[in-house]
Amino acid sequence: MTPHQPKRFDRQERFASLGKEGQEHLAAGKVLLVGTGALGGVLAQSMVRAGVGELVLADRDIVELSNLPRQVLFDDAHAAAGQAKVFAAEETLKRIGGPTRLTCHAVHVDGRNLAELAEGCDLILDGTDNLGTRYLINDYCVQQGIPWIYGGVVGGAGLVLPIMPGNGPCLRCVFRTPPPAGTLPTCDTAGVIMPAVGLVASMQAGLALHILSGAPLPEAALIELDAWNGECRRLVAKADPDCPCCGARIFEFWEQAQGEETLTLCGRNTVQVMRPGTPPDLDAVAAQLEQVAKRVVRAGPLLRAEVEDLVLTVFPDGRTLIEGTDDPMRAQGIFDRWIGG
């Protein structure tokens, strides 16, 4: 709390479960937020307005017009300029004021930079839009003993799972392996509404303040929230002694991520994206792309599609050429949205 704003957090401190001591814990806390879009926007505002000491923001994407109905940190001007989300977020968050220190990185979070981004952090918040990054975060947090909070939303509903390494389940205890790419609905295929985003992110934020305040969490649970139908379910989740991650301490997603590679092909206005792990189901990917692509063609073992102003060529091992851009972050975003998300 800054000396000239002694009443800024008065109402929070009056909340008995937090109190003055809890507020002091928040002021000393450091949080990494991966993703500043839909969930990330609500989470970032919540952390700044609550007075968390330092907030590290990481996002590789740019603001687009279609973001505005659900991504609360951005406006028309950000979209028109194609501004990097993380810097547009910083601009908006600074207007809130308060003591929170902001550190912003316009990067794709992967196995080569996650440890550096998370250095000194007390908590990691999931504002991402793809499963690969979530399993990577889970591996890293279990290794390092850092709490993190999973959140996912599609359509009108979503899930939240707080993960306290050594004291309850990790992500892989509940969802052992990610499903093949292209088999789950995403915001791009099934849509999403702002109330669902706000509901899921607010639950994540509440749990984040609880953890940062130093108060013990109740029994771990997977929380299902449905904003469209007005439903909430709390499913008790327990650590699985046979979990390959927190049980056997095999961190395959972390190890695989060290081999991720994005390569801009010189002189071709093309970016090659490669991700380790299970190859995508090309039939499922093709079915998703047919909803938005101008053209989808199976050329022998390859899948080709025209999406936006880009041409995607997907190989059987998941390696993808994205023609029409030399921007690695845009290419990674397209890849995660349609191929590896």
Residue 35's nearest CA partner among 117, 155, 112, 142 is 117
User: Looking at residues 130-151, what average pLDDT do you find?
Assistant: 95
Please identify which residue in the block is written with the tokens 């590290």.
56
To which CATH superfamily is domain 10-252 assigned?
Answer: NAD(P)-binding Rossmann-like Domain (3.40.50.720)
| pTM (2 d.p.) | 0.84
pLDDT for 181 beyond 70: no
User: Looking at residues 144-154, what average pLDDT do you find?
Assistant: 97
- How far apart are the C-alpha atoms of 199 and 209, rounded to whole Å? 16
pLDDT band of 37, cuts 50, 70, 90: very high
Q: Where are the alpha helices (DSSP H) in 51-161?
A: 76-81, 85-96, 114-117, 131-144
- How far apart are the C-alpha atoms of 221 and 322, rounded to whole Å? 40
Catalytic residue, candidates 187, 243, 245, 246:
187
- How far apart are the C-alpha atoms of 42 and 96, rounded to whole Å? 13
Q: What is the DSSP string of 162-226?
A: EE-TTSS--HHHHS-SPPPTTSS--HHHH-B-HHHHHHHHHHHHHHHHHHHTTPPP-S-EEEEEE
- Based on its alpha-carbon atoms, the radius of gyration of the chain, rounded to whole angstroms, reads 20
Q: Coil, helix or strand for 137?
A: helix
Residues 6+ apart with CB under 8 A from 205: 42, 43, 46, 47, 50
Terminal-residue alpha carbon distance, the chain = 40
CATH architecture of 260-338: 2-Layer Sandwich (3.30)
- How far apart are the C-alpha atoms of 117 and 121, rounded to whole Å? 9
Contact predicate 213/18, CB 8 Å: yes
Residue 22's nearest CA partner among 31, 33, 14, 30 is 14
Residue 100's nearest CA partner among 31, 43, 51 is 51
pLDDT band of 179, cuts 50, 70, 90: confident
The token pair at 339 is 């191929």
Residue ranges covered by each domain of the chain: 10-252, 260-338
Could you give the angle at the alpha carbon of 211 between the alpha carbons of 209 and 215, nearest 5°? 105
pLDDT digits (tens, 9 = 90+) for 248-301: 999 999 988 776 677 776 567 888 888 777 788 889 899 889 888 989 998 778
User: Looking at residues 77-99, what average pLDDT do you find?
Assistant: 94
The pLDDT score that the predictor gives to residue 51 is 97
- How far apart are the C-alpha atoms of 134 and 195, rounded to whole Å? 23
Q: Coil, helix or strand for 140?
A: helix
Is residue 187 part of the annotated active site? The answer reads yes
The pLDDT score that the predictor gives to residue 209 is 98
pLDDT for 198 beyond 80: yes
Question: Which residues partner with 158 through β-bridges?
Answer: 153, 225
pLDDT for 3 beyond 60: no
